[in-house]
């Protein structure tokens, strides 16, 4: 079964406020997205699951709209959230004093079956916070490595909170341009391995006890290649990384793990991504990259058709 994740980021913000939601009412928009997803057959795919990762405000209307359809029409469509807090509400414990943070219990209660954790944007935010307390941050490699470890430890706490609550996890990992370094691809490989192994070793700590009841998928993000004007990695690079991720998880934790390409699955690269046998799917952000950039279910359907055929 292939795993297709769709990270709809801040589609709760309409265009007039600088966002990319084409409608003034994001609730109406996400309901239309679910309606069209059902119409295009994304809930009855034979060999792929589709999970929409939504900002908090869109979760309830999306879950309600999806639930309005018969189960047979929505069995391969799922709703997830964009991360959970590192602590959770507990009976007899913290009743929910987590102002501004989304505990796993709240996401689960709203209808989320999974969470995306450790996305490059989340890692950047956490490292930036840690770095703001260290004046020598930009000049001290050891400080940056310690910050990376602290971020991995926080992300691991989030993973475990999601698992304990009964949710699945898409855990993102990836190397920055600085971590990859200069030189040929062969020269970069050992540095790439070091970064990814550290992120996986710390991020997956303690997950074995929840398997196979829960599922964890690794999303590989080549952070150095994400953004306007950046050149994405080719087949050799992605093949090397995805195979290494599977190997190192098997070495460290003795279980097999699905890996999806998190650098942006789109029409242009879907054939190449599909040709890599160590990948099990991809992460979609947008389906339209020119003019008014945005997301459309018909575009997602086309990407999936290209990818699975």
Q: Is residue 234 part of a domain?
A: no
Spans of the chain, pLDDT less than 50: none
pLDDT of residue 138: 62
Q: Are residues 109 and 37 in the same domain?
A: no
Q: Is residue 43 part of a domain?
A: yes
Q: Is residue 277 part of a domain?
A: yes
pLDDT of residue 115: 98
Q: Which of 31, 122, 158, 221 is catalytic?
A: 221
Q: Are residues 13 and 24 in the same domain?
A: yes
Q: Is residue 240 part of a domain?
A: no
The tens digit of pLDDT for each residue in 160-204 reads 999 999 999 999 999 999 999 999 999 999 999 999 999 999 999
Q: Is residue 93 part of a domain?
A: yes
Strands 48-54 and 259-261: unpaired
Q: Are residues 251 and 291 in the same domain?
A: no
Give the C-alpha separation, 307 to 171, whole Å: 22
Q: Is 78 a catalytic residue?
A: no
pLDDT of residue 128: 84
Q: Are residues 96 and 130 in the same domain?
A: yes
Q: Is residue 241 part of a domain?
A: no
Quote the number of domains for the chain.
Answer: 2
pLDDT of residue 4: 98
Q: Are residues 208 and 292 in the same domain?
A: no
Check which CATH number belongs to the domain holding 45 and give it.
Answer: 3.40.50
Q: Are residues 71 and 202 in the same domain?
A: no
Q: Are residues 212 and 65 in the same domain?
A: no
Backbone angles phi, psi at 61, to 5 degrees: -60, -35
Q: Is 221 a catalytic residue?
A: yes
Q: Which of 119, 122, 158, 179 is catalytic?
A: 119
Q: Are residues 78 and 119 in the same domain?
A: no
**Under 8 Å CB-to-CB from 30, ≥6 apart: which residues?**
8, 11, 54, 58, 61, 62, 65
pLDDT of residue 135: 64
pLDDT of residue 262: 96
Q: Whole domain around residue 60: which residue ranges?
A: 1-82+264-309
Under 8 Å between Cβ of 185 and 237: yes
């Amino acid at each position: 079964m292939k795993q297709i994740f769709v990270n709809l980021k801040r589609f709760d913000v309409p265009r007039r406020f600088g966002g990319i939601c084409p409608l003034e009412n994001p609730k109406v928009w996400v309901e239309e997205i679910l309606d069209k997803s059902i119409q295009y057959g994304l809930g009855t795919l034979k060999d792929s699951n589709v999970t929409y990762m939504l900002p908090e405000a869109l979760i309830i209307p999306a879950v309600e709209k999806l639930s309005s359809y018969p189960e047979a029409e929505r069995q391969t469509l799922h709703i997830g959230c964009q991360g959970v807090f590192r602590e959770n509400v507990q009976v007899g414990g913290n009743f929910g004093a987590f102002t501004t943070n989304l505990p796993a219990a709240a996401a689960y209660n709203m209808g989320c079956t999974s969470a995306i954790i450790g996305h490059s944007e989340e890692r950047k935010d956490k490292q930036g916070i840690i770095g703001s307390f260290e004046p020598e941050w930009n000049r001290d490699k050891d400080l940056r490595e310690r910050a990376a470890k602290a971020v991995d430890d926080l992300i691991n706490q989030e993973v475990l909170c999601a698992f304990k609550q009964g949710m699945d996890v898409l855990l993102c990992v990836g190397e920055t341009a600085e971590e990859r370094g200069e030189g040929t691809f062969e020269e970069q490989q050992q540095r790439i391995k070091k970064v990814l192994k550290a992120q996986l070793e710390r991020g997956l700590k303690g997950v074995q006890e929840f398997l196979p009841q829960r599922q964890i998928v690794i999303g590989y993000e080549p952070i150095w290649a994400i953004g306007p004007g950046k050149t994405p990695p080719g087949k050799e690079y992605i093949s090397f990384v995805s195979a290494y991720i599977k190997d190192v998880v098997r070495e460290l934790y003795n279980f097999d793990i699905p890996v999806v390409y998190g650098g942006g699955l789109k029409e242009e690269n879907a054939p190449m991504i599909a040709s890599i046998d160590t990948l099990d799917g991809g992460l979609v952000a947008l389906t339209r990259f020119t003019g008014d950039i945005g997301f459309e279910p018909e575009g997602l359907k086309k990407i999936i058709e290209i990818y699975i055929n």
